[in-house]
Amino acid sequence: MSASAATATLLEPSSTLGSSAAERLAASRRLVVKVGSALLIEAAAGSVDRAWIAGLCADIGRLAAEGRKVLVVSSGAVALGRRRLGLPLRGALDLQTKQAAASAGQSLLMRAWEEALEPHGSPAAQVLLTRDDTEVRRRWLNGRATLERLWELGATPVVNENDAVATGEIRYGDNDRLAARVAQMVRADLLVLLSDVDGLYTADPRLDAGARHIGEVEAVTPEIEALAGAANAGAAVGSGGMATKLIAARIAQAAGCATLIAA
């Protein structure tokens, strides 16, 4: 995470405009780090990429040792549950089967986080949310209090959507948006969206060798959203994509939180 920050795209509220991505990372006190399935899961095997998660947790351990509060939002439950339940690793699943896969995979996902965080002295603490938890005030306050207490106790909260029960209109739908809501909830100053692309481009970098990386964006404007739709739609795998990352950045921006899109 720290090494890739130099090439990431930073979307930030104007109050902090001008600081580079690396400086923003260094200045942050409360970070929400969203990890997508595409990075965490080895697609061919349907299992956690142990080397990758170990590297990320070493970064998280360093940030925590510097006194920063770090919260992880992790995808990967469905992908891991597919293999555990003997389902095809790719292709669409019906709703109930997908929920079943998420249930079976969630415990494997937590085991991976627990094992990777353990050498850095921080217990992994599972928090599963549905949309109401960030929209109904009493639940929002309760969720926030639990997350704060976990930090006080030295744990690293690992958040995911409660896929087993969340369907249709009660879903966040994707973890980019969930991560932005959680960032608001804990008053994070930096939302890091780790994806398989290192930020915004003027064109899809996989299709166009001339695509240029956009280092910093002052605000998520309709023009930037149009750029994401046209140039970056196919650039990320998983249920997110660049468009949902910009929606997340807009939510975070409204709460005064900068967003870093990094690989």
Best CA proximity match to 240, nearest among 249, 88, 182: 249
Would you say 13 and 257 are in contact if contact means Cβ atoms under 8 Å apart?
Answer: yes
Binding residue (CB under 6 A) for ligand GLU from 163, 195, 236, 253: 163
SS3 203: coil
User: By CB under 6 A, is residue 78 in contact with ligand GLU?
Assistant: yes
Give the separation between CA 178 and CA 160, rounded to whole angstroms.
8
Region from 2-10, 14-22, 148-156, 158-166 binding ligand GLU, contact rule CB under 6 A = 158-166
**Residue closer to ligand GLU (CB basis): 46 or 76:** 76
User: By CB under 6 A, is residue 133 in contact with ligand GLU?
Assistant: no
One-letter identity of residue 175:
N
User: By CB under 6 A, is residue 53 in contact with ligand GLU?
Assistant: no
User: By CB under 6 A, is residue 128 in contact with ligand GLU?
Assistant: no
Taking residue 263's Cβ as centre, other Cβ atoms within 10 Å add up to: 14
User: By CB under 6 A, is residue 175 in contact with ligand GLU?
Assistant: yes
User: By CB under 6 A, is residue 174 in contact with ligand GLU?
Assistant: yes
User: By CB under 6 A, is residue 97 in contact with ligand GLU?
Assistant: no
38 Cβ contact list (under 8 Å, min separation 6) = 195, 196, 236, 237, 238
Binding residue (CB under 6 A) for ligand GLU from 28, 37, 232, 259: 37
* Residues in 198-227 that interact with ligand GLU by CB under 6 A: none
For tokens 């009660």, the residue is 170
User: By CB under 6 A, is residue 75 in contact with ligand GLU?
Assistant: yes
177 Cβ contact list (under 8 Å, min separation 6) = 244, 247, 248, 251
**Residue closer to ligand GLU (CB basis): 68 or 99:** 99
Binding residue (CB under 6 A) for ligand GLU from 107, 126, 202, 239: 239
